[in-house]
Amino acid sequence: MNKYNLLCIIYCSFGAFFYGYDSGLTTSIIGYPEFISYFNFNATTLGALGSAYYAGNFGGSLVNLWLPDKVGRLRAVQIASVISIVGAGMQTGAQGLGVLLAGRAIGGVACGIIVSLCPLYASEVSPPHVRGRVGGLYNININVSYSLTEWMGLGFSYIGGSAGGLKWRLFIGLQLLCAVIMLVGSIWMPESPRWLVVQKRHDEALTVLSKLHGTEVHEADDSEEMPFYRREFEQIEAQIRLEQETPQFGLIAILKRPSYRKRLFLILFFFCFQQLTAIIPLQNYQVILYGSLGIEGKIPLVLVGVWGTLGVIFACGGAYFFDKLGRRKSFFISMSGVLLGSVMLVIFWARYEATGNSVKVLGNLALWSMFVYLVGYAWILNSFGYAYAPEILPMEIRSTGLGLGFAMLNAIIIMLVQVTPIAVEAISWRYFLIFVFMDAIFVVVFYFYFPETANVPLEEVAALFGDKVAFTLHDAVKMEEPGTRKRTEATTSDHIEQVA
């Protein structure tokens, strides 16, 4: 991977920071009494603050069913950045709750486009052997942005006096900076070579692949052994042509082909149950949960910062090992921590309440259980969706499948952000029993139905689902004659032998 390829991957990964800052700032801001009193929040309207944002995310995810295929990956990023600037401006200058919620919804649309589009874009410009680490980098950036917003939340909390409203307006207004960086950075980025091939702009696609892999287009074209960028181009072009032999695209293609339906089911299932591990209730409403466990004063804001920092540390470890351990082993390591932390939280919180909230050590153990959960979740659960979902989708439904996957994710989040403040107030620890049962279902289904995809080229993943592969990169190493290509069709068993 050369410097230009690395720059492209860093740019795509900044989309995670863009999303993470926008979604994470409310975690701290709801701990500001001035913010709560200014808009006169209660449990219902506080839930609406989160719901408005994630409803926008849901809409943005649905936009991705057609926008990236219609205008290209890069142009879609630029459109989302402009939408974000409008939404952030409305939130920053809001004088009433209605404008604030509308701004959060509009900003949410932008983030809904970005958060599902950037992993797709990254997967299409990344070499096969680093796709897991690219997904890990995306996760790290989300955790870095959460950590930054959480420590900023603590720092801004000390702005007081007559400038009481400044703390949250400045905090919200910095969303503008993320959108501007994304918009300006797009000037130096290439379009996805796979999208260019679909548009039959083959010369442009070949030039982009050459830049990404550090070889000029004219170099080594007539040698006996194809350079990697040329082999990849031949494979992309052949596989897309094979997939386009049936004229269906998007939702129609998914409905027509059983293997596509299976892939979409895996993505929808993953994103649904990823959220049903309770990440949103624990992360977004930490301040409320800490209060329920007897933590008061500035300490909740400090703990919010610690939460974000630990997330970064363990996400780095997971990202490093993601391609080495593979997708499945990494997932089970994560879920071990999630299950252990969730069970501990329910037990210790229940015992704490049973003592009338008088035995502080039980409250502290419940608190530490939340951080056990975090270590497990941060390890790979965020990275997994960003890497695995675009990996298992063929080009003709990649944008559609990711759009539907992130729409599912946001639909679950909308429900959780609206319900959580009310549920914690009404049934406290019993609410989290639901998530323990969901975790058990998650692990069982994953074990039986999710194949390993680490280090498999995007165009060869089809074989894992019983579909044809035009030819493998291995087949393309040697040309039969200069200017010709060797083409084969691989079944699942053939492919597994080649990968092994």
Tens of pLDDT, residues 406-438: 999 989 988 898 888 889 889 999 999 999 999
Q: How far, in Å, CA of 217 to CA of 384, rounded?
A: 34
Q: How many residues does the chain have?
A: 500
Q: How far, in Å, CA of 238 to CA of 197, rounded?
A: 10
Tokens representing residue 497 in the block: 């032998």
Query: pLDDT tens across 49-70, in order?
Result: 888 998 999 999 999 988 998 9
Residue 222: what pLDDT? 46
pLDDT band (50, 70, 90) for residue 457: confident
Mean pLDDT score of the chain: 85
Rg (CA), the chain: 23
CATH architecture of 3-192+250-449: Up-down Bundle (1.20)
Residue 477: what pLDDT? 56
Res. 125: pLDDT tops 70: yes
Q: Longest C-alpha distance within the chain, in Å?
A: 81
Residue 375: what pLDDT? 94
Res. 114: pLDDT tops 70: yes
Residue 480: what pLDDT? 43
pLDDT band (50, 70, 90) for residue 485: very low
* Of the candidate ranges 86-100, 262-276, 298-312, the one whose mean pLDDT is the lowest: 298-312
Q: What's the rounded mean pLDDT across residues 291-310?
A: 85
Supply the DSSP symbol for 394: -
Residue that wins the pLDDT comparison between 328 and 152: 328
Q: How far, in Å, CA of 162 to CA of 90, rounded?
A: 22
Residue 276: what pLDDT? 96
Residue 487: what pLDDT? 41
pLDDT band (50, 70, 90) for residue 490: very low
Res. 495: pLDDT tops 80: no
Residue 452: what pLDDT? 94
Res. 76: pLDDT tops 90: yes
Sequence-distant contacts of 297-301: CB under 8 A, at least 24 apart: 298/154, 298/157, 300/31, 301/28, 301/31, 301/150, 301/153, 301/154, 301/157
Residue 161: what pLDDT? 56
- CA angle (231 as vertex; 225, 232 as ends), nearest 5: 155
Contact 339, 304 (CB under 8 A): no
Q: How far, in Å, CA of 24 to CA of 143, rounded?
A: 9
Res. 235: pLDDT tops 50: yes
Q: pTM score, two decimals? A: 0.78
